[in-house]
Amino acid sequence: SYGTRQADSILVSTDVLFSFGLLAIINVATFLAFRLYNNLWEYASTDELVQLTLATILSIFVGAVIHYVAGVRLPIRVYFLAWVLFLFFAGGARFVFRFLHKGKGTASVRPAKSSLKRTLVVGAGETGSLTIKRMARGDYSMQGYPVAAVDDDPQKLGQRIHGVKVAGTTDDILELVKRLQIEQIVVAIPSADAEERRRIYDICLHTNCHLLTLPNVRDLRMDELDDVRLRDVELTDLLSREEIVLNTRLVSGYLSGKTVLITGGGGSIGSELARQICAVAPKQVIIFDIYENTAYELELELKEKYDDIDIRVEIGSIRDTERLEDLFAIYRPNVVFHAAAHKHVPLMEANPREAVLNNVFGTLFVARMADAYKASNFIYISTDKAVNPTSVMGATKRMGEMIVQYFAHSSRTCFAAVRFGNVLGSHGSVIPMFKRQIAEGGPVTVTHPEITRYFMTIPEASRLVVQAGGMAKGGEIFILDMGEQVKIVDLATNLIRLSGLVPGKDIQIKYVGLRKGEKLYEELLMDSETTLPTSMKNIMVSVGDKVSQVEVAAKLARLESILQDQPDEIKLCLREQIPTYQPDLNAVE
């Protein structure tokens, strides 16, 4: 009857109201449990989406269980539909909020378009898209007015990214810069290979535009994308070699869980060695240096990043045998990286006694301690200047290589040397000097128009040194693949262009002549040496004449006997010990 149908309708309505009310209470409780009411949704990412999905699934499931216990039977599709609608409205509302608030902080103070540099973006992939998007919304960490993009993918030509046209390929950069009055170029192709990057940078350097780049967005988490910043293109970018990745399997065997001593640990190479070594979990790292400031700064950096590794800094000289004895007695290091050395060529020409004391006898003293305290490995950091040396510094480093081979004959410690060229950005290198000269308006001084050098970045060199140590069997001189030699004048020219200036117009280049003991070009092998490949493509091992223990002992005794003589006598004695050394006498007048 009509009355019965009306009662059933009221009952159904009551059941429905009860169900909705119950679900609402469960939803609120679940969201509170997942702390979804505490999130800043303008920064929401996939993590929050997963959190929201799990919360809604749990909420619907708990509601279904309570319904079942209460005797309410609803089809499964009802719960599924309820979950879909719940996720849609709950998630949609929050992500609409994120969309509306995204970039709000920068939009209110967005610079006028006329004040921004007209920008060409090289690369129309994910990284280029991110760059254009953030520039368009006025992000202060990516300032610029994106005018056009270029990409070598034919399918992207003529397309638009966030309203910006892909106007050509990288071959069109010079023409587009001139036609569109480009002031700034962002190279957004971090996944390109080394040869391609080098080609593109070479094109861009001839535009006199400000050059910027940024990391590969594919290597970043979603919540890191908004923190990506543009940075200036550096000389290290122009080297454009394939990144050398530390082979942790190779090095962990002799470093993980061990005590590692790094002499000269506060220097450019020593400090980077410490960073690379800490990445493979040693038990303890001792940074030994005579200069306390950089060692202290490194200690703070490493302790902040690696709180599970015992980082120690010890101040002292490798020439002080008592200090070395105390150091080895206290820590008993398993592995020694010997990076401490006097390395500045002109200074050592004027101070040969100090070079011999530090680079020869300091190395001898550290090697003796490593042998006496039964370290498992001793790795000596050498230089290409030790090959057919023309300088005191190079000759003393060659003597250091001989000391390594001397101990390798009889010691249970595995002694090896690693030889490589210049590292970009190290203390006393030409790059800081060039930057200072450019900042002062020039001129930039280069010793000779044809002078060339091998170059590596500090991280590259340090990773290869650590890996070479893992391959050592005893007595090897490992040689790092330095690539092609680079003209110093080209480095100076590129650095001027990276500063947005024109070589020869805004900044002059002045040739001042070779310095005392300086070579026109460097060598990695002596005339009597050849190389054999190793399991690492960037590392070779020298094969050549090895000196006997008796011969090395005689050389050391002769050098020790003349330490109180005049500088030229010390140099002549060095020539006796290193026949390939041709000293430049009367360097001090």
The amino acid that residue 184 corresponds to is Q
For 309-312, the CB contacts below 8 A with 24+ separation are 309/278, 309/281, 309/282, 309/283, 309/284, 309/285, 310/283, 310/284, 310/285, 311/278, 311/284, 311/285, 311/287, 312/284, 312/285, 312/286, 312/287
* 378: phi then psi, degrees, rounded to nearest 5: -130, 115
Closest CA to 113 of 157, 75, 144: 144
Tokens of 27: 């939803």
User: How far is it, in rounded angstroms, from Cα 384 to Cα 422?
Assistant: 8
User: How far is it, in rounded angstroms, from Cα 268 to Cα 420?
Assistant: 14
Alpha helix positions (H), 283-391: 292-305, 321-331, 345-350, 352-355, 363-372
Integer Rg of the chain from CA: 33
Out of 133, 258, 343, 385, the active site residue is 385
The amino acid that residue 86 corresponds to is F
Strand pairing category for 310-315 and 452-453: unpaired
- Adjacent-strand bridge partners of 444: 509
- State how far Cα 394 lies from the chain centre: 28
Element (H, E) at 128: helix 126-136
Closest CA to 552 of 436, 411, 399: 399
3 state DSSP class of 336: strand
3 state DSSP class of 300: helix
The amino acid that residue 135 corresponds to is M
Q: Is the peptide bond before 443 cis (omega within 30 degrees of 0)?
A: yes
| Whether 385 is catalytic | yes
Question: What DSSP string describes 474-485?
Answer: SS-EEEE---S-
Q: What is the DSSP letter of 234?
A: -
Cβ atoms within 10 Å of 329's Cβ, excluding its own: 11
How many separate helices (H) and strands (E) can be counted in the chain?
21, 22
Active-site residues, by number, are 385
